[in-house]
Amino acid sequence: MDREHTLERCYEVTGEVLRTVFNQQNAQRVTLEGMILKPNMVLSGLTCPKQEAVHEVADATVRGLLRTVPAAVPGIAFLSGGQSGELASARLNAMNVRFKSRLPWALAFSFARAIQQPALEIWQGEETHVLAAQQALYYRAKCNRAARRGEYNAATDKRHEHDKKYPATHETCGIARTVEYPWSSAHRYSPTFGLAIKVSRGCIEGI
């Protein structure tokens, strides 16, 4: 999320929003057992000088959810809110590790930017990059499956800003080889990458 707000301020506003959401859900007689909540994690703004550790984000997020989200809700699927794929995975993993016995709902991602962004950066709209982009999408899906189970290992999922290789084999999450690709933040949407997502989605559904 943009701006300079603190984690504490995000916690306050997120709580207010969720309380309002569920007050209205009750007023409209919504069946909570039939919904999936898609909230933000509780985070400092991207330009805030203080950026909390992974466990602090996990603790603040789950603490806020426990105070506002009814246990009848079956699942919470986070929006990644501008986080890197690796950081989003680490934070989700920390929630499932630290609060596993206390969670009344399943915690996962809504599988958008936290999975797709690395693949988009690899693809760049080039047909020759489609295979590498598919493999990157599959890799991040595996990592986030591990995070959903509290089995993600952040140490093996590190990659530096100027690294030219996608992460190599990982026992918990990853594909069984290293893929070379030209790194760039430029990307655009087209039927070509739509095909890449469609092919890889079968892998995600089969995980």
Are 24 and 40 members of one domain?
Answer: yes
3-class DSSP state for residue 108?
Answer: strand
7: closest CA among 50, 39, 63? 50
Tens digits of residue pLDDT in 108-138: 987 666 678 889 889 999 999 999 999 988 8
What is the domain count for the chain? 2
Non-local CB neighbours of 33 within 8 Å, separated by 6+ positions: 72, 73, 74
In this model, does residue 3 exceed pLDDT 90?
no
Q: What is the pLDDT of residue 177?
A: 35
Domain range spanning residue 185? 112-207
3-class DSSP state for residue 206?
Answer: coil
Are 4 and 104 members of one domain?
Answer: yes
Q: With bands split at pLDDT 50, 70 and 90, how would you rate the model's confidence at 82? A: confident
Backbone Cα Rg of the chain: 18
Q: Return the axis-axis angle of helices 7-27 and 54-68, rounded to nearest 10°.
A: 30
Tens digits of residue pLDDT in 6-56: 999 999 999 999 999 999 999 999 999 999 999 999 999 989 999 999 999
Are 8 and 55 members of one domain?
Answer: yes
Among the three residues 110, 133, 168, which one is the final residue of a domain in this structure? Answer: 110
Are 192 and 123 members of one domain?
Answer: yes
> Mean per-residue pLDDT for 160-170?
38
Tens digits of residue pLDDT in 166-175: 443 334 353 3
Among the three residues 110, 137, 156, which one is the final residue of a domain in this structure? Answer: 110
Are 135 and 176 members of one domain?
Answer: yes
Among the three residues 87, 110, 133, which one is the final residue of a domain in this structure? Answer: 110
Tens digits of residue pLDDT in 64-81: 999 999 999 999 999 877
Are 66 and 123 members of one domain?
Answer: no
Are 98 and 125 members of one domain?
Answer: no
Are 104 and 87 members of one domain?
Answer: yes
Are 148 and 89 members of one domain?
Answer: no
Are 106 and 118 members of one domain?
Answer: no
Asked which of 104-113, 139-148, 183-192 is least confident by mean pLDDT, the reply is 183-192
Are 117 and 156 members of one domain?
Answer: yes
CB 59 within 8 A of CB 102: no
Are 120 and 171 members of one domain?
Answer: yes
